[in-house]
Structure formats: C-alpha cells, structure tokens
A and B are shown apart, each in its own frame.
Chain A
Amino acid sequence: MKTNDVIFQTVAKVVFFMIIFFAVHLFFAGHYYPGGGFVGGLLTSGAIVLLLLAYDMKTVRRGFPVDFKWLISLGLLFSVGTAAGSLMFNVPFFTHAYDYFQLPLFGKTSLHTAMLFDLGVYLVVIGVTMTIIQTIGESE
C-alpha cells in the first residue's frame, strides 16, 4: 500500500494525536464515565492503523520501535499481577482497593488498583490488535 498523499499524511499526523489523547482520556475516565481499557486500547490501535494507512509499515515501525507481542505479555503481567497482588495483603485473589488522595493539579482524586488492572487490559488490547494487523500486513 504505497501512497504518496501529502494531505492525507499531514491530516493523519494531526488526527493521530487527537485520537490518542481522546483514547487516553477514555481510558482514565473509564471508572466514572463511558470508556475504559477496551475502548481506549482499541482507539489507540485504531490511531496507529490510521498511520499505517497513511504511511507504510516501515515508517510506523520506526515510529513505534516496540514489539507488540511484548506489549501483550506486559499487559497480562499487569493484570494478573494486580489480581494476585491482593494475595499479599491476605485478602482473596482479585480484591481491589481504592482511596482518595489530594493531588496537586488534579485536586481530590481517587486512585484504584482497578485502574492498574485496566491498564493491563489496555496494553493487551493494543498488543493484540497491532500484532494481528502487523503480521497480516507483513505477510505480503
């Protein structure tokens, strides 16, 4: 898919960041408003796919020098780790904890271990989607 569409590429670059910010927003909002790890992850990978369409595999590779398979394992590790972490505190597997903190800039914020778990989901979703698309894309 070799295209040389300058307008498309420029727009894609801008839109990419907008999507990414939106995705991150969705991810963090997840606990209170619609959103969460799944949507966030999917949108992020959607943004990368957009770049893929605008440029090509190699350019994107250079932009994201990550092996997405590692992302999968990292995400799984986060999720399982969060779930198993509760065992350390002598509570059943998968018990979450949360509390409210007074943070500078954000004001009163609640921090959740569920967020960590969701981060794992987020990473896995990106990893999976990108692995699939990249592998298929490269197979030509």
Chain B
Amino acid sequence: MSLLHWAVLAPFIMAVFVPVLRKKAALIHTGWFVLILPIVLFGTFLQYLPVTMNNNTVMQTAPWIPSLGIDFTVYMDGLSLLFALLITGIGALVVLYSIYYLSKTKESLHHFYVYLLMFMGAMLGVVLSDNVITLYMFWEFTSISSFLLIAYWYDRDRSRYGALKSMLVTVFGGLIMLGGFLVLSIMGNTFSIRELAARAPELNEHPLFLLAMILVLLGAFTKSAQFPFYIWLPDAMEAPTPVSAYLHSATMVKAGIYLVARFSPIFAFSGYWFWIVGAVGLFTMVWASFNAVKQTDLKSILAFSTVSQLGLIMSLLGIGAASLHFETLDDNIFTAAVIAAVFHLINHATFKGSLFMVVGIIDHETGTRDIRKLGGLMSFMPITFTLSVIGAFSMAGLPPFNGFLSKEMFFLSMVQLIELNLFNIETWAILFPVLAWVGSVFTFIYSMIIVFNVFTGKFQPEKIEKKPQEAPIGMLISPIVLASLVVVFGLFPNLLSYSLIQPAAAAIVPSIIPAGEQLDVHISFWHGITAELLMTIGVIAAGILLFKFMPKWGRVYDHFPGKVTLNQFYNSGLYAAERGSNAITNAYMTGFIRSYLVYIFTFFIAALGFTMWAKDAFRYDASAAAPIGLYEVCLIVVLLAATLTILMAKSRLTSIISLGAVGYTVSLFFVIFRAPDLALTQLVIETVSTALFLLCFYHLPKLSRHEEKRRFQAGNAIIAAGVGVIVTLLGISAHSSKFFPSINEYYVENTYEKAGGENMVNVILVDFRGFDTLFEISVLSVAALGIYGLIKLRLEKGGETNENE
C-alpha cells in the first residue's frame, strides 16, 4: 500500500467518520470537516505534477486477489493526474458550495456527504486503476453512489425515477463493459491496461478485437451519456445542484471520456474506432444541442448542453485516432484533435461547473428554475449575472474565454478531416465540419438563453416564490473561483499546455511519440484569417439571428418529439420487463411448498438420471463388498418396518415414535459398522429429539391427511420412487468405481504424529477439519437464537404489527 493507494481509499475511510461527526459536532456544518479531505488530496496529487510533466509515470501494486491476477495497481500518468486533479479540485469547490446550499438543520447531511465521499473515492479509483477488474469495481461504485445522490430527496417521485433510470442505464453499460474487459483480458492474457496496450498490435489482429471494442465503448457511451443512452442525464438533474455540478457535469460523466482516452492506445489504430467514436460523438453533440434549446428548465438546458459537450469531446478523441496513421510528428495534424479534447475537457469542467452553481444560486434565491418565470434578475444579482456571462460565453465559444480556444481547435480538427485519405472518408468528410458548425450554432443559442432570458427582460415578481437577492458570499466563492479559471485559462492558455495537457494527450497516443520528444502544444489566440475563425464568426452571426427570431422558428420543435420517443422506449421497455417477469414468476411461484419440492426433485432425477445414462456411468461391482450378516438383515427389517409405519401412521404419536425407532436402528447400524462416536451421538440426539417432539407435542396439530386425491398421491409416489432409485443407483455406482485412492491413510498416519490424539474421528473434528466444526457450532447457535426469537417475538394475530418498529 503506497501513498496513492491511501489517497484512493481516504474518501471511503472518511465516509465512515461522517455520521459520527454529524452527531458529535452537530453545531458545525458537516461539510467543513469533509472539505479538508479533497483539499489535502488535491495538494497530494499536485506533487505528482513534476513527475508526469516529463512523461514519467508512477506505478504501485498492492496484491488483492493474487490467485486470479487481480491486483489493486495504481498507475499515475498525465491522463490520470489530470482527472485526479479535476476530481479533487472540483470536489473541494463543490463541498464548499454545498455547505451554503444545504441547510444544516433541515437536510440529512451525513447521508449526503457519505455518498459524496464514496463517489469521490470511487472516481479516484477509476482513473488511477491499472487493473481492469479493479477499474470495473470502482466504475460500478460511481454508478451506485450516483444513484444514491440523485435519489437524495427520495420522497420525490421524480428523484426516484431519475435515480433508477441512471442506475439501470449506467450499471447495464458497466456490465457490458465488464464483458469487454474479460474478452480483452482473454485476448491479451492479462488484466493490466498497461500490458494490454503494449500488446496492441497483436490484439488488433485478433478475431475478437471488434467485439471487445464495441463492448467497452458501450460502457463508455452509457456513462458519458452519448446518443442514444443520454436519456438518463436530464432526469438525473433531480439531484441537489452541487451533485449535478460535480457528478453530472464535471466528473462522473467524464469517466466515459476517460475510458475512451485510456483505451485509445489499445483500440484506436482500428478504423472502426475512428468511425464509431467520432460519429457517435458528433451526432450526440448536434442532437443534444438542438434539444437543449427547447428546454425551459435551466438545469435541463445544462443537462442537454453537458450531453452535447461530452459528444464534442468524444468526437475529438475519435478523430484524434487518425493521428496514429502518420509516420512523423511534424506533419501530424491530428494530434491537435487529441490536444483539443484534453483542453476542452478542462474548460468544460470549469465553465459548466460554474454555470451549474449559478443555476443553483438562482434556484436557491428565487425558488424556481423555469426560464418562463424568470427575467430581469440582473439588477438583483449582479455578481451571479457576471458569473453566468463568463460561463455561458465561454460555452458559446466567444473570446477571450477558454471555450473560444478549444472551440477553434475543434473546428480546425473537423476542417482538417477534408484532407484526410483514410478509412474511406472522402465523400463523408465534408459532413463533419458542417455538423460541428450546426451544433455550435445551437450551443450558442442556448448559452444566450441562459444569460438573457434569466437576467434581462421583464422582471416577473408575481411568478416567483421569493424576493430575489444576491446569494451569500460563501455560495459565490466556488463559482467565482471557477469563473476566474475560465478567464485565466482563456487569456493564458499556455499555463496548462505543458503542465497538464501535453502529458495527458501523450498518454492517449503514446505510440506516435518518439522517445524523449513531446507533443507540440502551443495554444495561441490568433492564427490569421483561417477557416476556423470564419466558422466562429459564422456561428456568432447565425446564432444571434436565430436567438432573436426564436419565436418564429421555435415551432419546429413541435415536430421533433425526439427525446420523448427514446424515453417512451425506455419506459415501456421497463414496464414490459416488469410485467413479463411478474407473469413468469407467478406462473411457477405458486406459494405451495410442494410445487417447489417437485421442481427440485424432478430436476434432481432428470439431471442425474440423464447424466448417468448419457455418460454410461452406472457400474456394478460387488466384489469388494462386505458379507451380509444376520444382524444387519434383522436391523434392515426393523428399519423398513418403522419407515412403513410412519408412512401409514394415522396419529402423530405413532409417527413420532416410529421416527425415533428409525433413529435408534440407525445408531445400531453405527455400532455394527464400527463407528462408536456416531453411535453414541446418534443415541443421545435421538433421545433429545424425541424429548423435543414430545415437548412440542401439545402445540402440534393432529396429524391430518387433508384428503389428498389419488392422483396427487400417485404423482408423489412416482417422484419419490424416482428419487429413491436414482439415489440407490448413484450409491452403487459410487461404491463400484474407485477413481482415487482413499485419503484416510493420511489420518491414520498423522493423527498421532501431528495432532497427538488417537481417536481419529474426534481429531478430524477438532483439528484437521476444525473449520467445519467451528461453522457448525455457529450454525447451531444461529438456530437456537432463531428459535428463541420465533417463540419470544409474538406478532399480533395476522402479523399486522409493524416490522420496522
């Protein structure tokens, strides 16, 4: 366990103490304690910056399940570090913001922070794991904590619906991804991503390559809300705003981006990767930005905009894959796409994070997020207004903010595709820049909606619940920090170039970088009059026009119920699945124990009988058998007579006594067959059990046959006979075939040597197989306590007492 391991585990450990802190220090907002952790972690991770800046990596392994090759290996390179800094940095700001957002008295803060810390740890685990199985485990952890956070206000229907939806989509995606990981690990014979990447060329030739790629991509697309899986993200907005800002814009949804980036070295050489990732990303970007414009809830706009921006980054990663097909770095124009992806990832986290917090403030101070009710807030909330202008303009791609820079790079990459001679792209190439441009126009429009529909226009005090006022300073700090970063990164982008962007981009396309060299990451404002600049100007012009005349063309949306159909598909699918499984379950779960036993025994007969027949497994060999003696025959007669009595018995006393007779006969068998320990135990047990039966006697019902029909009895008899025959045949075959020498010699030799005892049975029980005995007495204890509970805990007649009391 190294420092990095502890860094991943620290949030989980902290989460344990949160409820205690909440209870013991109720006067202080629990968030203040929690805040310390992400700050410390952020500082810890910053120390790795000099390491990754030189394209060095850190790797530490702690064995977890070594026998299966599953280790908790942390691997820190530029990409991981970038994400780790985002997670802890934004995490710290979100926690700070939540301190003012969530009331100390009204909310169950301990739940909130436990979930949030769980998420933080899981997310760190995702980006730092080198082992795919560990990665998968943390991946699902993020889904679960996201589920809990979305359902934080679990008394709201919409919250529960959104939480369930997000969990179903992302967990199923994760499961599919696990399939991809397993295929990959079978192909490469290792669970380590680093080793898989080293074998990328041979994996490329493997017949399962495409399957593995598609499975892994499905995992990434569900998590990153790509088309058509994006439907969960808008519903996830039911979560408290700090959660939306953290999980559903800055970090968790980027896990999919991370995954695509992380697996690029393995998959990206393939043309399929280029097409799937690039096209899905671009289409998602256009589709979601188009849909964002029609939303009326501010958070929904942001949700769709997040989907769209994630699509943008995804498409950049896809196009960046083209860079692998160039021989030298100098003429490799597509590394720019990878660099743009990383740069936009950082920018998106800053401006979207601040926008979410701004929306949270508006919601908090006015009581609504509906843009139809809001307007003219500029004079009431000047600081919030400024922040939203910075965030939204950056998102729209306007100078001098960081969004402008990455948007330019995005256009540049798309335009360059026209000159690409790979993957049969010729005829389609022109579509890429066109779609990118269209998507950006819509992005521009909804960015303007966020600013102008809320802050300018007519103030409508009658429609909002509270009198708007500026938020408390504590709530403003976090968005201010993020907005300043938007401006700083916009003005001085090269602060990031070689510290964060280059190492991260290099980790995505390591194979094209010769040893000792670096990618050229110089970001500048002015390139002269270029295609991308003209595109930006076009976006602004078209965007302003469309924004102005929105009421005129807005009706287009009436003809595009796009989101609705996908959602309907999800809803009806879920409903049908529930109905279907209900129907199937009810068909065989009759609630009648006999049905279940019939299933079990029929399966027993069928499975064993079939195997015995198919494998020709029946053997008969009586040569090793002991001779049959007179005593034994007598005992067998007694035993069978007693059994028959039970079957025929009309009264419960007869059957209980006959059962006792069977037990005593069995103990006599033990005597004859040289098992004194068993004989003793059986005798005593039989006595105690009979006493037990007699004790219960008065409470037990009279033995009644419940008028079983002949057919019922005949069916039972057939199954019973079947089981009996199978067991007999099984026993005879087992006796007649000796595949292995018996291990009993071991006990004969070692009972005295190693355990210092002479009674082998007892020594086996307490020494050689002590675990059996330990668990056995535990089971017995549970049984005793269960009985105690059953008798002492009396529910009212009909069991109406509340079990939760």
Contacts and interface: CB of A to CB of B under 8 A. Distances in A.
Interface of A: 26, 29-39, 42-43, 45-46, 49, 53, 69, 72-73, 75-76, 79-80, 83, 94, 96, 98, 110, 112, 114, 117-118, 120-121, 124-125, 127-129, 131-133, 135-140
Contacts of B763: 31, 114
Contacts of A73: 781
B308 to A, nearest CB: 57
Given A114-B767, A133-B692, A36 B762 contact: yes
Interface stretch (B262-270, B462-470, B485-493, B770-778): B770-778
A78 to B, nearest CB: 10
A120 B759 contact: no
B150 to A, nearest CB: 42
Quick one: which of B681, B699, B757, B766 has the most chain A CB within 10 A?
B766
A80 B774 CA distance: 7
A19 to B, nearest CB: 10
Given A72-B784, A94-B771, A128-B783, A136 B692 contact: yes
Contact of A117 (B687, B688, B766, B783): B766
A22 to B, nearest CB: 10
B548 to A, nearest CB: 77
A39 B788 contact: no
Contacts of A118: 762, 766
A83 to B, nearest CB: 6
Contact of A135 (B684, B755, B758, B787): B787
B781 A128 contact: yes
Nearest to B779: A128
Interface string B61-104: 00000000000000000000000000000000000000000000
Given A26-B680, A37-B766, A114 B784 contact: no
A110 B765 CA distance: 18
B773 A133 contact: no
B756 to A, nearest CB: 4
Quick one: which of A38, A49, A124, A138 has the most chain B CB within 10 A?
A38
Given A34-B759, A112-B756, A131-B788, A124 B777 contact: yes
Interface SS majority for chain B: helix
B780 interface: yes
A49 B529 CA distance: 101
B684 A125 contact: no
Contact of A42 (B684, B757, B759): B684
A37 B774 CA distance: 12
Contacts of B696: 136
Contact of B766 (A34, A114, A135): A114
B677 interface: yes
Contacts of B687: 46
B791 A49 contact: no
B788 A120 contact: no
A135 B770 contact: no
B431 interface: no
A132 B680 contact: no
Contact of B784 (A31, A37, A53, A131): A131
A79 B792 CA distance: 28
A83 B676 contact: no
A46 to B, nearest CB: 6
B748 to A, nearest CB: 15
A42 to B, nearest CB: 4
A98 B698 contact: no
Contacts of B755: 96, 98, 114
Contacts of A127: 781, 784
A6 to B, nearest CB: 22
A26 B758 CA distance: 14
Contacts of A75: 777
A124 B699 CA distance: 27
A135 B792 contact: yes
B766 A132 contact: no
Interface residues of B, number: 40
B785 interface: yes
B781 A35 contact: no
B598 interface: no
B688 A129 contact: yes
B732 to A, nearest CB: 30
Contacts of A76: 777-778, 781
Nearest to B765: A36
B685 interface: yes
A73 B788 CA distance: 14
B587 interface: no
B777 A69 contact: no
Given A114-B766, A129-B688, A124 B780 contact: yes
Contact of A35 (B680, B699, B767, B774): B680
B462 to A, nearest CB: 68
B759 A132 contact: no
Contact of B770 (A33, A117, A140): A117
A76 B781 CA distance: 8
A49 B756 contact: no
> Which 3 pairs from chain A and chain B are nearest by CB?
A34-B676, A31-B757, A98-B756
B691 interface: yes
Given A43-B684, A53-B691, 6 more contacts: A33-B759, A128-B784, A129-B688, A131-B784, A136-B692, A138-B791
Given A32-B758, A34-B677, A76-B781, A39 B684 contact: yes
A34 B787 contact: no
Contacts of A46: 684, 687-688
A46 B793 CA distance: 27
Nearest to B766: A114
B743 interface: no
B695 interface: yes
B777 A30 contact: no
A38 B681 contact: yes
A45 B688 contact: yes
Contacts of B777: 75-76, 79, 120-121, 124-125, 128
A100 to B, nearest CB: 8
Quick one: which of B680, B688, B695, B781 has the most chain A CB within 10 A?
B695
A37 B761 CA distance: 12
B677 A132 contact: no
A137 B693 CA distance: 11
Given A75-B777, A96-B755, A34 B680 contact: yes
A118 B762 CA distance: 9
B782 to A, nearest CB: 9
A135 B696 CA distance: 11
Contacts of A96: 755, 766-767, 770
A78 B780 CA distance: 15
Contacts of A135: 787-788, 791-792
10 contacts: A32-B757, A49-B688, A53-B691, A72-B785, A94-B771, A112-B756, A117-B770, A128-B781, A133-B691, A136-B692
Nearest to A134: B788
Interface in B688-741: 688, 691-692, 695-696, 698-699
Contacts of A69: 784-785, 788
A46 B669 CA distance: 22
A42 B788 contact: no
Contact of A114 (B680, B757, B792): B757
